[in-house]
Amino acid sequence: MVSASSLSHLSLSLSSSSPFLHKPKFNYPTKNNLHFNPKLVSFSNTKRIYATSSQVMNPSLSKTDSAVPTTVDVDLGDRSYPIYIGSGLLHQPHLLQRHVHGRRVLVVTNTTVAPLYLDKVVHALTTENQNVSVESVILPDGEQYKNMDTLMKVFDKAIESRLDRRSTFVALGGGVIGDMCGYAAASFLRGVNFIQIPTTVMAQVDSSVGGKTGINHRLGKNLIGAFYQPQCVLIDTDTLNTLPERELASGFAEVIKYGLIRDAEFFEWQEKNMHALLARDPNALAYAIKRSCENKAEVVSLDEKESGLRATLNLGHTFGHAIETGVGYGQWLHGEAVAAGTVMAVDMSYRLGWIDDSIVKRVGDILKQAKLPTCPPETVTMDMFKSVMAVDKKVADGLLRLILLKGPLGNCVFTGDYDRKSLDDTLRAFCKS
């Protein structure tokens, strides 16, 4: 087992020291993203970006007015919803209250987040809104508790409180809380509304957006769940001020992913600004969160149920989930496992001849800059990888499909059409046995 303190010292043999020099101040992008083209609409209280198939980041939005949230819309027809992004949003009660349609609310949170933000959320839900009553359930913190036993505590509280179908569940926490609360909302009384208030980078840039909900099984991660969209996602970037360094870095694995699979300019921006992100520069964080949400929202709007395109968001996850399952849930953070899994996917892409060695080096460099691991722990064997990957959600008709990079930076494929020897060679290269 690899300790948290040793993670930053893991390295990829194919990589060398980074050639990139970083300026001390935040660097804003200077050209338009090739993938997106935003329509901006002025509102009295929001800056709104519509995530559609032709979305583009506008550099003029990089510096945000903390009093005015930026809004990215997830376009799903009559189930569309906004992602509010900004500083101090928990102090703007109208943002939450407009999405609560009944009189009963259940806040689902954990033992770490509750002392920090539960009172603020209850106040935001009830201030000048006395008809709403709020219950809360506080779960243990950690991936190891993302299971059916813990989920039952949410149902117990909802049933004991006699919540009805007009009730709203609120997920207050990181990815584990968001996934479990969402699954509880999808299942309770066959479906009640829910709201996401993510408090980690990982949840803010990825897991809170798109409606994937669920729990783990001892044989594999996220094998039990449902697609169930929230009413809104409220991202108060101030919650990152209390996030531990290890959790902060973990979230950047998902940010890096977007650049690799579909947004090369964003990746180049990250190479120049990783120091600013690690230093919690508020403008850098706001920009990274917003651009990540735009990428995620566009993909979800085009492929909600992961029939093809959305699967590309799982770069590194098939290897990463095997790491998480192999070492035991909670030992490695999700982003740490995804980082190592991304390096393995990139290595396999290179062995297939689909990318050149410069991309391999850049991936290793940026992950090391982000203080993320670039290889799996020695305890995860080749047989363990194969066993867990065999029950991965992307297996179809017995065939393991993978997300791999192909072509210039910012391009990838979701495929089962690859040389099996390349997969075996990658596993041998990263596994001791």
| Residues tagged active-site | 190, 212, 254, 296, 306, 310, 314, 317, 321, 334
DSSP string of 60-87, one letter each residue: GGSS--TTS-EEEEE--GGG-EEEEEET
Tokens of 373: 């691991």
160, exposed or middle or buried, with CB in 10 Å at 0-12, 13-18, 19+? exposed
Is the distance from CB of 400 to CB of 426 less than 8 angstroms?
A: no
Q: Is 93 exposed, middle or buried (0-12, 13-18, 19+ CB in 10 A)?
A: middle
| Tokens found for residue 57 | 């980041």
Question: Is there a contact between 370 and 201 (Cβ–Cβ < 8 Å)?
Answer: no
Amino acid (one-letter) located at 1: M
Could you tell me whether strands 47-51 and 233-236 are parallel, antiparallel, or unpaired per DSSP bridges? unpaired
CB-CB contact of 245 with 237 (8 Å)? no
**CB-based contact 195:231 (threshold 8 Å):** yes
From CA 237, how far away is CA 85, in angstroms rounded? 7
Cβ-contact 352, 422 below 8 angstroms: yes
- Measured in degrees and rounded to the nearest 5, phi and psi for residue 231 equal -75, -35
Q: How many CB atoms lie within 10 A of CB 79?
A: 13
Name the 3-class secondary structure at 42. strand
| Nearest alpha carbon to residue 405 among 343, 330, 325 | 343
